[in-house]
Structures are given as C-alpha cells and as structure tokens.
Amino acid sequence: MWYVYILKCSDNTLYTGATNDVDRRVKDHNRKKGGSYTRARLPVTLIYKETLPDKSAALKREARIKSFSRVKKLELVAMRSQIPSNS
C-alpha cells in the first residue's frame, strides 16, 4: 500500500507528500530528514492520510492534491475527518 499525506507545519502551512510508510515519513520530517520545505517549519503534524493501491496511483494523487488551493486542501481534510473509520 501507498499513501498520500498532508502535514500541518508549525507556521500553519501545509505540505503534501507520498510514501509507503506514513509513520516513518512523519518522524523523518520531524527529525529534519524530510523535505527542505518542512525542515524550516518544524514540528509538523499529520492531518490527512489517504490509502492508494500502488506508488503510481499515490504519485498521481499527490500531484493532484498539490494543485489544490489551501482552502480545497482543508476541505478535503475536513471531509475525510467526517467519514467513520469503519467504512
């Protein structure tokens, strides 16, 4: 499985990425081993995670989400948080 994730940075900006291990990747970001964007905006907090079947699908979805406005990204986060975890 692959994942697309959104992080909220300490300066309230958003960062979108893709990985096959979200927990490890968030820890990497917070250890200054993530992207240069997040290194200057620590700590980061995971606010969104989406599961995808493979790397190709995750990278395509990441690119799509990165094209969203901040408002649209926050709407995506809010919409996902309203979905029960057992569905």
Which amino acid is present at 15?
Y
Q: Which of 69, 76, 14 is nearest to 45 (CA)?
A: 14
Please report, in angstroms and rounded to a whole number, the separation of the first and last CA atoms in the chain: 18
Give the pLDDT confidence score for residue 35 in this predicted structure.
84
| Residue keyed to tokens 């893709």 | 18
Give the pLDDT confidence score for residue 87 in this predicted structure.
39
DSSP state of 55: H
Domain ranges of the chain: 2-81
State how far the Cα of 72 lies from the Cα of 2, in Å rounded to an integer.
Answer: 22
Per-residue pLDDT of the chain (87 residues; tens, 9 = 90+): 999 999 999 999 999 999 999 999 999 999 999 889 999 999 999 999 999 999 999 999 999 999 999 999 999 999 887 655 543
CATH architecture classification, 2-81: 3-Layer(aba) Sandwich (3.40)
Give the pLDDT confidence score for residue 86 in this predicted structure.
45
Give the pLDDT confidence score for residue 34 in this predicted structure.
83
In this structure, are residues 25 and 5 in contact, taking their beta carbons and an 8 Å threshold? Answer: yes
Say whether pTM exceeds 0.85. Answer: yes
